[in-house]
Chains A and B, each alone.
Chain A
Amino acid sequence: MNMSRMKKELEAAAAPMTFDEESGKHARDFRIDPGFCGFEGHFPGTPVLPAIAQMLMAELVAEEIAGGALRLVGATGAKFLQVIGPNETISVTGKPRQVDRGFALDAQVLCNEGVAAKFRLSFDTIV
């Protein structure tokens, strides 16, 4: 699949998708080790998982739900509430939204028994 290095490393750090019928949410767990390229330089001596890495994790969830590659076109209502470091267990949940065109996902990033981030992402499908 055509991916950036960051996205490939996130995919490699992810467990298989699960689905909760009651909530309608899909979920993938991630465990990001200290060698993740997104930690390098962000920041020197204090590795912090970039917000955009969390968005890419949700993008991976979205693509698996959609069954194909997607291209991010927008984000709204994003809140990043926790500083996440290496070796944390992170669960990214996603619930698809009905939209006229493309694909949209309401996502949450869960870490340390709380909501680390939430946002809505909008995508175009890639043919």
Chain B
Amino acid sequence: MSELSFPIPAERLIPHRPPMQLVTTLLDYVDSSGTAETIVPNDSILIADDGQLAPVALVEMVAQAVAAFCGYEDALAREDVHEGYLVGITKAECTGTVRAGDRLVIRVTRTAAVDGFAFADGEVFCGDELVASASIRVFVPAKAGEAGQ
């Protein structure tokens, strides 16, 4: 993979592709935290007839931001992008309304990584408004069986 410099298109870091790719760019990565962004497309498969984004999409964005974060780490280690699965949501709250055209910033922090499982907390902002938060668990089969990180 060519040298990585921020901002990085998410398709270089995650296996998801449109229309299920909900995160467009990884903006930064610091220790165990990262920031991603997206602009909600008008033709998103998760936009309702009234232009509002389905709240579940915000939870998926947190998961894909975590995936991008992990994908960046893989890239630094010169590994291929791995498929990961959202396997758990400890708690998620969807508190704001998001519409087509909105720019969203997703901030994630990995809280633990054990045997292919990554535990992370994420928040989704639309401007200054917190529109969603989630504590999730992602499983990367390719990393299962490795020593705890």
Contacts and interface: CB of A to CB of B under 8 A. Distances in A.
Whether A associates with B in a native complex is yes
Contacts of A42: 16-17, 20
B92 to A, nearest CB: 4
B54 interface: yes
A127 interface: no
A5 B88 CA distance: 25
Contact of B55 (A40, A71, A80): A71
Most B C-beta atoms less than 10 A away, residue of A55, A74, A81: A74
Interface stretch (B23-31, B43-51, B102-110, B114-122): B43-51
Most A C-beta atoms less than 10 A away, residue of B18, B46, B90: B46
Nearest to B97: A71
Interface in A1-39: 2-7, 37-38
B73 interface: no
A82 B94 CA distance: 25
Contacts of B21: 41
A78 interface: yes
Given A72-B55, A75-B59, A75-B91, A43 B83 contact: yes
B88 A6 contact: no
Contacts of A97: none
A66 interface: no
Interface residues of A, number: 34
A74 B93 contact: yes
B9 interface: no
B37 to A, nearest CB: 19
A41 B17 contact: yes
Interface string A60-88: 00000000000111111111110100000
Contact of A52 (B50, B57, B95): B57
Interface in B39-68: 44-50, 54-57, 59-60, 63
Contact of B89 (A5, A6, A37, A119): A119
Contact of A76 (B19, B20, B47, B89): B89
Nearest to A55: B56
| Leading 7 A-B pairs by shortest Cβ distance | A41-B17, A78-B89, A42-B20, A41-B20, A52-B56, A72-B55, A75-B92
Interface of B: 15-21, 44-50, 54-57, 59-60, 63, 83, 85-95
14 contacts: A4-B46, A38-B45, A40-B17, A46-B83, A48-B85, A52-B60, A73-B95, A74-B93, A75-B59, A76-B89, A76-B90, A76-B91, A76-B92, A80-B86
